């Protein structure tokens, strides 16, 4: 998952000095956004390593920092989406009108907050907890995948479909290790996949555009 995001954002964030002419947001909030979301991926790796090393005590202590980080990500992610939607040119590198495309990151933040909240609520049940954490992170991968070379500018169904392969991999792991799909994988995976065509269907409706104009107007 880290490699997926790194490839997608290499030119606009991670390796920015080597690609100065590549389109990238100019507002400082997006660099904070990138740092927070990168921190989440690093923390996910560290937490998995700690569990593997049986340092559950450290894992639990870091978990509360992870909860605070998730809260900051939702706040900054939502604010950044509104900033991008307010631009006359909309989201960088996205040909879809800003108010219409806003439904994609807003839904990402809603699902991320929901899945992370469920992970926290089920922290005493490790099998559920880790799956909700993985699903929360898989939900964020679409932004990186959509910026892969060869995928950039393609159909939303393409980058949503590539994201869903991570859900398939999680379900396959469940079947291999448990001989059945874990309820968290099933429910979370179905919600994530079902949200994708729903976003596209809602994005151009009058109700959504009215809400998007109101939300962007909150920035002043």
Q: What is the mean pLDDT of the chain?
A: 95
pLDDT digits (tens, 9 = 90+) for 113-169: 999 999 999 999 999 999 999 999 999 999 999 999 888 777 888 989 999 999 999
Q: pLDDT category, 38, cuts 50, 70, 90?
A: very high
- 123 lies in which domain range? 2-217
Instruction: Say if CB 8 and CB 22 are below 8 A apart.
Output: no
Q: Which helix (H) or strand (E) holds 179?
A: none
Considering its fold, how many domains does the chain have in total? 1
The DSSP secondary-structure symbol of 171 reads H
Residue 8 CB-half CA count within 13 A: 22
Burial 28-46 (b: 16+ CB within 10 A, else e): eebeebbebbbebbebbee
Predicted local confidence at residue 149, as pLDDT: 86
- Report pTM: 0.94
74-125 pLDDT, tens digit each: 999 999 999 999 999 999 888 889 999 999 999 999 999 999 999 999 999 9
């Amino acid at each position: 998952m880290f490699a997926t995001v790194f490839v997608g954002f290499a030119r606009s964030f991670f390796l920015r000095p080597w690609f100065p002419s590549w389109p990238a947001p100019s507002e400082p909030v997006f660099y904070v956004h990138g740092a927070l979301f990168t921190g989440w991926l690093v923390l996910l790796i560290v937490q998995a390593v700690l569990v593997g090393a049986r340092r559950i005590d450290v894992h639990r202590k870091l978990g509360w920092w992870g909860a605070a980080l998730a809260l900051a990500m939702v706040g900054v992610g939502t604010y950044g989406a509104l900033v991008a939607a307010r631009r006359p040119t909309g989201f960088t590198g996205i040909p879809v009108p800003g108010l219409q495309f806003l439904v994609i990151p807003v839904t990402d933040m809603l699902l991320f907050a929901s899945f992370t909240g469920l992970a926290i609520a089920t922290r005493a049940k490790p099998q559920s907890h880790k799956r909700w954490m993985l699903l929360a992170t898989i939900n964020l991968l679409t932004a990186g995948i959509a910026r892969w070379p060869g995928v950039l500018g393609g159909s939303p169904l393409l980058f949503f479909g590539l994201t869903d392969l991570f859900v398939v991999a999680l379900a396959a792991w469940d079947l291999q290790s448990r001989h059945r799909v874990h309820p968290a994988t099933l429910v979370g995976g179905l919600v994530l996949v079902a949200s994708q065509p729903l976003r596209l269907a809602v994005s151009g409706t009058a109700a959504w555009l009215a809400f998007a104009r109101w939300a962007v107007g909150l920035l002043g």
